[in-house]
Structure 1
Amino acid sequence: MMGPVERAFSAPGKALIAGGYLVLYPEYDSYVTALSSRMHALLRGQETEKHIRKITIESSQFAEGVWSYDLDPDIPFGNIKEAQGRRNPFLEATLMCVLAFVDADSRPGFDITIRIFSDPGYHTRDDTTARVSSNGKRQFLYHKKKINEVAKTGLGSSAGLVSVVTAALLSYFTGDRDVETLRNTVHNCTQIAHCHAQKKIGSGFDVAAAVYGSIVYRRFQPCLIDEILKHEFHSMQGNPALALDYKGALQLLVGSDWHFKIEKCALPPGIRLVMGDVQVGSETPKLVSLVLRWKQANPVEGEKLFEILNKANGSLISALSLLHELQRENPAAYSSMLKDYQVAIENGAEKAEVEPLRRISAAIATMREHLRALTAATGADIEPLSQTALLDRCSRLPGVLGGIVPGAGGFDAICLLVLNDAIPTMLQTTENDQFFSNVKWLPLHEESDGLLETSPEDYAGL
């Protein structure tokens, strides 16, 4: 019998810098930045007698944050129900997908506990208490409310949650010691489970960022997942024949090549991402449905607008790539360019040395122009007037290259690209300006790594 296993994993949040709405289509590139706020999963598990198949998932940062599952010994991935009747579609879909993939019904019994933690950037900080791990390496905020009653900031908490739980379970059942060999399997399982939980096939960029980190992303074909989501097993989960067929189809799908683009990237040195929570909130599915409905009703106009928006997105991606090349070729000249930029802007000088930075500002301005056109055409609040005023004001702050409403847009947040050295001044300036009173700058930055294995010791005492 296998001895006790203890492993921990973390996955980052995300910000979609370029690719809003186009990310839904497999022919367009998007630029996704992974963030320093991460979701964490600490697994402790051991083998038991075959008739015992138990998984407990705890999220002690929230009230009533415990979900216990006593699974069917014969079909452990079927009829997954929490002991106290507490529904969590994301956990249920994750267990179903992973347990089917690893052929859990043919394995020894197991008793697994997974503790979930989320970094402070994912949720509101209101009415919280901070706790620090015994070794001081982790600090989390504890809420008095249930998880579904706490406001989120839109960093992709569900994608991160499913990613780390999937990674933890796969590591236990496969015994694989190298996270790299698990990465593609984690991604494919997570995408399927996440779509099942949401009852729709999303673009998948949030899951891809959680697993692979900062990436230039082009989505998989939605039809890949469609068949497994419609499998008859979902309506008759106690049927052994359907369970066997579902398991085989799932294993084949997870192990196949999805032919999507995940090209690693990172923001250029000296340029930071700064996110502000605007504390209003938006309904992303509603925004997306408005845009998709409009494009379907106006195919010619829609295609034209999408193509010019794609061109602007490509300009930003190219401009960021160019800065990496310049930094590699001549680090000293690159540093001088960063220092000279603000002086050139203030003096109105057309200084050739800072032109690569101007390209970023120009690309962001063009992206915003086309997103405002999409707002006007569809009626979806992609860049609402209040956000336009806020971003225009931010763009005039020293060191700010430009800013957008990330992802699907709306009132949730804004995202700025700022010269690193200018950030302290920017924060002080906005703190003293009533215009920015409804903006909370989030304590996070780009962290380009995706899924990582971490030390279980870092969570002791929490």
Structure 2
Amino acid sequence: MWGRITQIAEKLDDTFGTEEGGESNSNSSSNGGDGWDEGDDFADEDLEFDDDWGNNDQVPADEDELPEAPLASEVDPEILVENGDAPVFEQTNGDAAVSLAQDAPPLDDRVVTVSSPGKALIAGGYLVLESPNPGVVIAAKGCKFYSTVAFRPTFGGASVANNGGGSFIPVDVYSPQFDQVFTYKLSYSQNNSDITLGVRNDGPSESPGNKFIERTLLLTIGYIRTALGDKFTDLLEIPRPNTSLAIKLRADNDSSGGTEVNKTGLGSSAALVTSLVGAMLEFFEVTTLAETEGLTISHNLAQICHCYSQGKVGSGFDVSSAVYGSHVYTRFSKSLIHSLLVGVDKLNTNGESLHLSDTVARDLLDLVNDTTKQWDSTVTPFTLPKDDFAYTPVIGGLERDGAEILANRTAEQWKKPMPSSWHEFEGSSWYVAGKLLDLRMALLESRQNLKGMGNAASVPIEPDVQTKLANATMKLPGVIAVGVPGAGGYDALFVLYVKGEETSDGFSDKVRDNIGDLWNKMSAAADDEIVVCPLNARAAGYGGQDGLCVTNLEW
């Protein structure tokens, strides 16, 4: 173990300097196009894990937690331990049968709300676009999207006559956070799955359309109509006149960057689409999110909706995180949904309304239900339990003098005997210490490669202003790693750190407080060159309430 720790420590000292301030002689730092250069002020980098601790260059941050940008990711020690036994959940469900929930309340009295989290891709940016390269995606608490579905009076009290055949229904989408209402008219065939979604004229004239909402509704309703058959028509025979299918979209403030910032980098579009898909499926009783099959159907449909809405087939890690929470992700094959999206595009060329034919709707049903078993994305969850007996001494060791040792020892010092108190901890403490160092080195290397790639392409993947902020944060005691999530840019930063002593009645801790103090000082000294906006986002776990789920939020 000593040899391994020494090797890691020497590599860190060679790359970022010792406490004497030696210059880096690594290949990466000497090559100006491969990451940070001598001007990046990282020469005095030490291993500090002490418990004491677009485009106006506005960098969101975490208010209570890691005050910085997107996801202030709080890392529990057990999450950092390599888990070779974590199961791989394959996104295949065979011939998924669609069944209606039994003993549900009358549909016209139901209110269903579903939430999904935002995310931060902390490793695998750009690489995750090509299978089988993995991406490590962390779901974010404090930045969830909520979609609520119910039958409500038509917006503005408008008189909307429903004909005897029940062939259309008004659809009102409320977005109170942005003070907007989108009004539509859904027309559907009594005989097949043909549907048309058009804009009504009685909505607020100042409210533009939203393609993520409209395209998601088109495909989701098309799927529901095809899955339920005649049952869909029966469900829409509303007993009261002038009633619409009403949808309310809400978000924690940190999801949408409600303050005056362009983006937070937390995947708000994917979370919006995923929560809307889940809420519609639950409301019409097509499936239930409490079951694996329901999550699989929601995932597959949300991936298709999101790709159609953004006009391209992305990697899908953001939607996957919105469904499953934190995990290691590998993408589905690009060709999987291409032909379906081409078919939908051919039906919608006039731009006045959106249409889905019976044939394409049936293809959609087969693809979502995976009747041909083509979905090949994989999800490896973070499954290590908290407070497991094996990790109790690890946490104790890090909370005591272990963090100080990691912070202050150079390569030479690692070769000397350790204080007796550290030797008293069980062997697992050493294991975790090594993993913390491994993780720090891996994420530093990832950052450096992204920076170098951006320099070579003249694209600010990690802008200089972000580099300055990240490097300064990396030097704080307790901080493991800092970086730009996903594709980079000015969106935000994520921070992984060892939690310190709790402060503010448990809402924060010493390490997070020190990060916030640093960012506040840097913002004040920057003369508006950079503004760090606190966010309340922090890392979530895998599955259950940390993923796509039904909540008790009322209308």
Shorter-normalised TM-score: what interval?
Answer: 0.7 to 0.9
Match of 2:186 among 71, 89, 106: 71
| Structure 2: runs of 5 or more not aligned | 1-105, 154-161, 239-243, 419-428, 501-510
Query: Alpha-carbon deviation of 1:2?
Result: 4.6
Aligned position for 1:60: 176
2:330 is aligned, of 197, 213, 218, to 218
Q: How far did residue 193 of structure 1 move?
A: 1.1
Identify which of structures 1 and 2 has the higher relative contact order when contacts are C-alpha pairs closer than 8 Å and 6+ apart.
2
SS, match of residue 119 in structure 2? strand
Q: Is structure 2 residue 534 aligned with structure 1 residue 428?
A: no
State the partner residue of 2:392.
331
Structure 2 residue matching 1:20: 3-state secondary structure:
coil
Partner of 2:367: 253
2:321 corresponds in structure 1 to: 209
| Cα 1:219–1:259 shift into 2, 3 Å | same
Question: How much does 1:383 deviate?
Answer: 1.8
Q: Superposed, which structure 2 residues align to 1:384-399 within 5 Å? A: 384-399=463-478
Identity %: 29
User: 2:454 aligns to what?
Assistant: 375
Tell me if the contact between 1:4 and 1:45 (Cα under 8 Å) persists in the aligned partners.
yes
Residue type at the aligned position of 1:18: A
Alignment of 1:162-201 (within 5 A): 162-174=273-285, 176-180=287-291, 181-201=293-313
Match of 2:133 in 1: 28
Structure 2 match to 1:358: 437
2:114 is equivalent to residue 9 of structure 1: yes
1:119 paired to 2:252: yes
Offset of 1:397 from its aligned partner?
Answer: 0.8
Contact kept, 8 Å, 1:45 with 1:172, in 2: the verdict is no
Q: 1:80 is matched with which residue: 183, 186, 198?
A: 198
Q: 5 Å matches for 1:261-340?
A: 261-265=378-382, 329-340=390-401
Q: Name the aligned partner's letter for residue 17 of structure 1.
A: I
Structure-2 separation of matches of 1:153 and 1:211: 19
Q: TM-score under structure 2 normalisation?
A: 0.63
Q: CA deviation at 1:188?
A: 1.1
Instruction: Give the letter aligned to residue 248 of structure 2.
Output: R
1:124-177, Cα deviation, whole Å (9 max, x unpaired): 4447xxxxxxxxxxxxxxxxxxxxxx7331211111111111111111223545
The match for 1:317 is: none
SS at 1:424 equivalent = helix
- Deviation of 1:115 after TM superposition, in Å, equals 0.9
The alpha-carbon distance between structure 1 residues 16 and 209, as it changes in their structure 2 partners (threshold 3 A), is same
Residue of structure 1 in register with 2:213 after alignment = 91
Corresponding position of 2:271? 160
Shift in alpha-carbon separation, 1:175–1:5, aligned structure 2, 3 A = farther
Q: TM-score, normalised to structure 1's length?
A: 0.74
- Whichever of the two has the greater Rg, that structure is 2
What is the Cα-based RMSD across aligned positions, in Å?
3.0
- Give the counterpart letter for 2:516 in structure 1: L
Secondary structure class of the residue paired with 2:273: helix
Q: Which is richer in helix? A: 1
Q: How do 1:44-55 residues align onto structure 2 when only pairs under 5 Å count? A: 44-45=150-151, 50-55=166-171
Q: What is the CA–CA distance in structure 2 between the aligned matches of 1:66 and 1:3, rounded to whole Å?
A: 21
Deviations, residues 320-349 of structure 1 (Å, cap 9, x unaligned): xxxx9xx65242234313543431144215
- C-alpha change, 1:188 and 1:175, in structure 2 (3 Å) is closer
Structure 1's 266 and 165: CA in aligned 2 closer, same or farther, altered over 3 A?
same
Cα 1:125–1:172, aligned 2, differ >3 Å: closer, same or farther? closer
d(CA) in 2 for partners of 1:126 and 1:371?
28
- Kindly indicate whether the alpha-carbon contact (under 8 Å) linking 1:79 and 1:237 is maintained by their aligned counterparts in 2: no
Code of the aligned partner of 1:69: Y
Q: Is the 8 A contact 2:185 2:197 kept in 1?
A: no
Q: Residue by residue, what CA displacement relative to the aligned partner does 1:287-341 show, whole Å, maximum 9, x if unpaired?
A: xxxxxxxxxxxxxxxxxxxxxxxxxxxxxxxxxxxxx9xx652422343135434
Distance 1:359 1:382, change over 3 A: same
Separation (CA, whole Å) in 2 of partners of 1:364 and 1:34: 18
Question: Which string of whole-angstrom CA distances, capped at 9 and with x for unpartnered residues, describes residues 387-408 of structure 1?
Answer: 2222111100111111111110
- The aligned residue for residue 452 of structure 1 is 549
Shift, 1:435, TM fit: 5.2
Whether the 8 Å contact between 1:41 and 1:116 is mirrored in structure 2 is yes
Amino acid at match of 1:29: P
Is the 1:2–1:46 Cα contact (8 Å) retained in structure 2?
no
SS where residue 284 of structure 2 aligns? helix
